Structure 1
Amino acid sequence: MLFNEEIQRVFKSDSWKKVNKKLIGKMLSEYMYEKMIQPNILSEEGENIEYSLQVSESKHYHYIAQKRLFDSFDVKWTTIYIVENDGRKEADSAIELLVDLQDVIGMSSETAGHLIKEMNSTLIADAHLLEKEAKRSDELIHEDYASLEGYMTGHPWITYNKGRIGFGYDDYLAFAPEQQKEIQLSWIAVHKDLASFQSVEGLDYEALIASELSEEERIRFDVKVKQHGSEPSQYYYMPVHEWQWKNTLVQNFPEELAIGRIIPLGKGEDRYLPQQSIRTFVNITNKDKHHVKLPMSILNTLVYRGLPSERTVIAPKVTEFIKGMAEKDHFLKEECRVILPGENASMNVNHPYYTQLKEAPYQYLEMLGTIWRESIYTYLEEGEQAITLAALLYEDHHHKPYVESLIDQSGLSTEEWMEQFFKVVMEPLLHYLYQYGTVFSPHGQNTIVVLKDAKPHRLAIKDFVDDVNISDQDFPELQGLSSEFKAVLRTEAPEGLTQFIFTGLFICHLRYLSNLLKNNGLMEEETFWSLLADAILNYQSRFPQLEERFKLFDFFKPELTKLCLNRNRMVDYGYSDDDDRPHASEFGKVTNALAAFQLNRTVGSN
């Protein structure tokens, strides 16, 4: 029987219970934050609050939770149990909780059914991670950037964070980042009438392909094209993922294959490791070569993981736009020394028929393309080490946080380390926002902290094509942008632009880091958030001429719109196959803890 060895090793009763209990704790925490559930308080003792969540007339979930700033909750997963018909039992099935919550939350049966599948996939991945022979945090702090990604546990907020609809178990074992399996990318030739190639100034197609493929590979591919009776000069060569080829491309481009407008070429020689996004790959054979981003039409954490055609086409122009700002800005270039791995080249192939449909489901417009992004390794100097922000939320199997090991290694106190961290991370992000009306989505995968001697040293930001947004205000710094450019990059009103940092970084990442530090006795919440407030205010005091923009993009409002990720899938969007990617749901307001810290500092200075 297939996979019997893996199933025997991973699918164990104790492990399955543990990953379920931890996911139940996460579900209760996040659904309370998003106000999808509103349990009753039974008792309070110090920080511990005992809650009861009624899911039917005879069934309640009981648990202990602690309140956190930003209207958040930390549910203690070891305390959860079920009271049903006056009996008590373990709460050890996340799927049971999901089904129990269908009427409470108001999920359709279609949504709940698909979510069961996503939750089970998430639990299977969590069980694999639990059984993985993981290194201790003290060892992992020396791990290479590409392989470190294989230890990560997924999106900290979304409860179905490894749903990966479209993957079979064989695909999971072969392609999931936590499996850390090196792969070889397949290549195809696409006729130039069908495909487009774009690049930054000074880089053409021939130069790119010569840097990515050896001469022997190029000769081998040329021979394949000629065997089809075609001329290689009429084609572009582009990599595709094996999963995409066998599950999406053959089925959706059979006519192009039949008439030779797409020609399969075989596998390339280089080996790659998948990163947390699943569709981005680091070249392990030669780490200086580009990182490659490919579409994979699986549904994971809200969206199909394709490459939107209009953004793929404009990617190199966005790179020139973003890098051009830094190149002319002394603060970004010389003081922050921000790293911007550029999306130097892209290819896009529009489907000849789906593109003619009115309001075609977006997944069918994102099936075939490639983005070549500069390798982070080409920017690292002697003694520097790159890690994604996501790594800072990792705890090893012995419950030691990765960030604690870094702090120990650095010789700094926790407060000194975090003060340096906030300075390194916030200054470039704030400067782009305030000075240029331009914002990234600085979540855990896109934001890279470059360490030196285990201390935060400088910042790298990636993924421009999906996550760069610009202000709708009439800023001189944004004048001269083409209508094509503005049509593709999202323009946002002031609070909308602010939200990319407030929700994308503070809510989506930092509130988990703060909770991790508090639970491990490393730092109190109030200290953590006051250091962040100080970093913002210190930047503002450095650039008083931007005062009007500080008011426009205000991180110190008492409340901001609450954006919700789980609610989007579970209540608002479901599993619709619309013509646009789903966006975070807006629901109510979130109390902004930074407002109090700004007030305290202002009062203290008077």
Structure 2
Amino acid sequence: MLFQPDIHEQLNRENWKRANQQLMAKMFAEYMYEDMIHPEVLRAEGKMRAYELSVTADKSYRFAAEKRLFDSFDVSTDDLKKVEGGLEEEADNAIELLVDLKEIIGMSAETIGHLIKEMNATLIADVHLMEKTEVSSDELINLDYAELEGYMKGHPWITYNKGRIGFGYDDYLRFAPEHQQEVKLNWIAAHKNLATFHSVQNLSYEKLLDEELSGQERDRFFSEVRKQNCVPEDYYFFPVHEWQWNDQLIQNFPEEIAKKEIIAVGDGDDAYLPQQSIRTFVNRSFKEKHHVKLPMSILNTLVYRGLPSERTVIAPKVTEWIKGLYEQDDFLKNECRVILPGENASINVDHKHYGAVKDAPYQYLEMLGSIWRESIYTYLEDGEQAITLAALVHEDHQGKPFIQSLIESSGLDAEDWMKKFYQVVMDPLLHYLYKYGTVFSPHGQNTILVLKDHKPHRLAVKDFVDDVNVTDQPFPELQHVTEEMKTVLRTEPPEGLTQFIFTGLFICHLRYLSHILEKHQLLAEEYFWQLLAESICDYQRRFPELKERFELFDFFKPEMTKLCLNRNRMVDYGYADGDDRPHASEFGCVTNALAAFKEQKV
């Protein structure tokens, strides 16, 4: 299949050039932030600076950028220039730039080889997204939660954010969230000697199956097992992704299939829509049914998108613990009314051979399982609308920010909208941190903003098992955390725990939101961060009894350790098949703009 005429319509010269220039601007900005490149300042006027980056003795790049707080840069896509052999021309080739940076950044040949592949895949996806011009930001603000995800452009920080190594072009068209293709999940039966089932209290395997499958589906699936002369009651039934089954599971579990320990039983009836993470699916046939998280052994951003077995097994217990803190806390439950979509049930299948290998590559230890997460729709009240935080940094094909459309429709000005936003988002995150020594990773995908009349109204946080972390300090509030949970959840020293909010939310998300508001003259970036500092101080005034913990988890230090995401892949970790998932690299410090605003407040 040559994908005619699609491939020629999508990969046209004009869009390819624009996608490359946008990616180049992002590369300059983020590699400067991560101290991987150090261009020379040619001239400065206010916040605007003209830069030149020499890559060889006779070749350089020139670009313009506004200097931002937190040691950040907003690089313009206009007027990107390449100067070679004394001749200046327009710069429009991101892969050429990447190769030119090999020695400057210190990338290995192996790393840059794989990275070229990831960046080309990212550019192809960016070009496809450019064709999505039918819905403006004014219209997107009224779109359904699951559909809205299909318009997002990926991680704002990572420059190879849609690499999806493992996908062919056909897989990309079928399964990437931006194509919004509904899929039916394949179901398999795994023998109970092989698979384990775990759930919150009062949710049995039989009850879960009754909720997720119709009687007809169950009969059909059970019949397939009987056709193999096996007993359905000896098996756990659960969904797998079609790509995972075709490209990973048959090849890695042939023995289990041959022995009928794993039996393919057919497609489910319900239609699902993939979300930005690719491996999480929202049920479109019945909104109240669980969202399903499935392993997909593709490499995207920094990690293979599998389901770590130890975390899959313990997911329901983490859910019960997180919700238990909420239930006993009047502030979280009755004032913030935070929403916590629980990971209520999970099935895990370990691979007996890979599991027996010491230090086996982690991608082979998280290939088969399923997590059922409560649907966000079951929590929404009349007039409420859910969006991921990622949507707030979206700009439509005409450059209008999604957040601008929200503000205009809310009847508030940008200042009051952001004040409400900070109260809604920060209060529950800070309370879990200060009161319980527990932190989520509140990046753009895990954090859901619930709107009412297009105003920030409530917060929802998801993905507990992957991204909940606890303090290493002896907090009495953590005395009921079991040793089993401690071996799975990351335990962090004070700054490490603080970083999940500082980097995960401030640097990874709010940094880009502030750029948008500043660029579109909606709110000056200094005031944007001042409002954040005030929201933290407001919380601290509300709970003075936690003063010692405010100092322990200090968001107002003049400098914080700089965590780097691009550097991790490009310099430190590469594409090694390690036994553990790579974590963000630490390199130097970032100037914390909140420190100055705290001083002003005092």
TM range (shorter): over 0.9
Q: Would you say 1:422 and 2:422 are equivalent positions?
A: yes
Deviation at 1:480, TM superposition (A): 2.6
Q: Name the CA distance, whole Å, in 1 between partners of 2:190 and 2:335.
A: 44
Aligned to 2:86: 86
Matches within 5 A, 1:224-373: 224-373=224-373
Alignment partner of 1:588: what SS? strand
Aligned to 1:115: 115
Q: Name the CA distance, whole Å, in 1 between partners of 2:86 and 2:586.
A: 38
Residues 133 and 397 in structure 2, CA contact (< 8 A), matched pair in contact too: no
Q: Would you say 1:546 and 2:579 are equivalent positions?
A: no
Q: Name the CA distance, whole Å, in 2 between partners of 1:18 and 1:588.
A: 33
Deviation at 1:461, TM superposition (A): 0.2
Aligned to 2:104: 104
Matches within 5 A, 1:352-501: 352-501=352-501
Deviation at 1:8, TM superposition (A): 1.9
Letter in 1 for 2:21: K
Q: Name the CA distance, whole Å, in 1 between partners of 2:45 and 2:322.
A: 51
Aligned to 1:195: 195
Matches within 5 A, 1:547-586: 547-586=547-586
Deviation at 1:47, TM superposition (A): 2.1
Q: Name the CA distance, whole Å, in 1 between partners of 2:36 and 2:314.
A: 38
Deviation at 1:46, TM superposition (A): 2.6
Alignment partner of 2:61: what SS? strand
Deviation at 1:215, TM superposition (A): 0.3
Q: Name the CA distance, whole Å, in 2 between partners of 1:47 and 1:132.
A: 33
Residues 79 and 90 in structure 2, CA contact (< 8 A), matched pair in contact too: no
Residues 47 and 68 in structure 2, CA contact (< 8 A), matched pair in contact too: no
Aligned to 1:128: 128
Residues 432 and 439 in structure 2, CA contact (< 8 A), matched pair in contact too: yes
Q: Name the CA distance, whole Å, in 2 between partners of 1:256 and 1:420.
A: 54
Aligned to 1:530: 530
Alignment partner of 1:21: what SS? helix
Q: Name the CA distance, whole Å, in 2 between partners of 1:83 and 1:589.
A: 32
Q: How many residues align?
A: 602
Which ranges of structure 1 fall in alignment gaps of 5 or more residues?
none
Q: Name the CA distance, whole Å, in 1 between partners of 2:480 and 2:129.
A: 49
Write the deviation string for residues 506-548 of structure 1: whole angstroms up to 9, x where unpaired: 0000000000000011010110000000000000000000000
Residues 134 and 396 in structure 1, CA contact (< 8 A), matched pair in contact too: no
Write the deviation string for residues 153-201 of structure 1: whole angstroms up to 9, x where unpaired: 0000000000000000000000000000000000000000000000000
Deviation at 1:33, TM superposition (A): 0.1
Alignment partner of 1:359: what SS? coil
Q: Would you say 1:153 and 2:159 are equivalent positions?
A: no
Letter in 2 for 1:320: E
Deviation at 1:112, TM superposition (A): 0.3
More displaced, 76-85 or 109-118? 76-85
Alignment partner of 1:556: what SS? coil
Q: Name the CA distance, whole Å, in 2 between partners of 1:587 and 1:134.
A: 42
Question: What is the root-mean-square deviation of aligned Cα atoms in Å?
Answer: 0.5
Deviation at 1:77, TM superposition (A): 1.3
Deviation at 1:95, TM superposition (A): 0.2
| Percent identity between the two aligned chains | 68
Aligned to 1:50: 50
Q: Would you say 1:216 and 2:216 are equivalent positions?
A: yes
Deviation at 1:267, TM superposition (A): 0.3
Deviation at 1:79, TM superposition (A): 2.1
Letter in 2 for 1:516: I
Residues 134 and 151 in structure 1, CA contact (< 8 A), matched pair in contact too: no
Letter in 2 for 1:416: D
Residues 498 and 553 in structure 1, CA contact (< 8 A), matched pair in contact too: yes
Aligned to 1:513: 513
Deviation at 1:134, TM superposition (A): 3.6
Q: Name the CA distance, whole Å, in 1 between partners of 2:295 and 2:159.
A: 23
Alignment partner of 1:353: what SS? helix
Alignment partner of 2:581: what SS? coil
Residues 273 and 281 in structure 2, CA contact (< 8 A), matched pair in contact too: yes
Q: Name the CA distance, whole Å, in 2 between partners of 1:536 and 1:48.
A: 30
Structure 1 runs of 4+ aligned residues shifted over 4 Å read: none
Aligned to 2:7: 7
Aligned to 2:21: 21
Residues 132 and 397 in structure 2, CA contact (< 8 A), matched pair in contact too: no
Q: Name the CA distance, whole Å, in 1 between partners of 2:366 and 2:55.
A: 40
Q: Name the CA distance, whole Å, in 2 between partners of 1:368 and 1:173.
A: 23
Q: Name the CA distance, whole Å, in 1 between partners of 2:374 and 2:481.
A: 24
Letter in 2 for 1:294: L
Write the deviation string for residues 130-167 of structure 1: whole angstroms up to 9, x where unpaired: 01234000000000000000000000000000000000
Residues 129 and 178 in structure 2, CA contact (< 8 A), matched pair in contact too: yes
Matches within 5 A, 1:68-79: 68-79=68-79
Alignment partner of 2:400: what SS? coil
Residues 386 and 450 in structure 2, CA contact (< 8 A), matched pair in contact too: yes
Alignment partner of 1:458: what SS? strand
More displaced, 5-14 or 535-544? 5-14
Deviation at 1:562, TM superposition (A): 0.2
Letter in 2 for 1:532: L
Aligned to 2:168: 168
Deviation at 1:89, TM superposition (A): 1.1
Alignment partner of 2:263: what SS? strand
Q: Name the CA distance, whole Å, in 1 between partners of 2:161 and 2:373.
A: 25
Deviation at 1:483, TM superposition (A): 1.0
Q: Name the CA distance, whole Å, in 1 between partners of 2:277 and 2:11.
A: 25
Letter in 2 for 1:341: P
Write the deviation string for residues 201-242 of structure 1: whole angstroms up to 9, x where unpaired: 000000000100000000001110011010000000010000
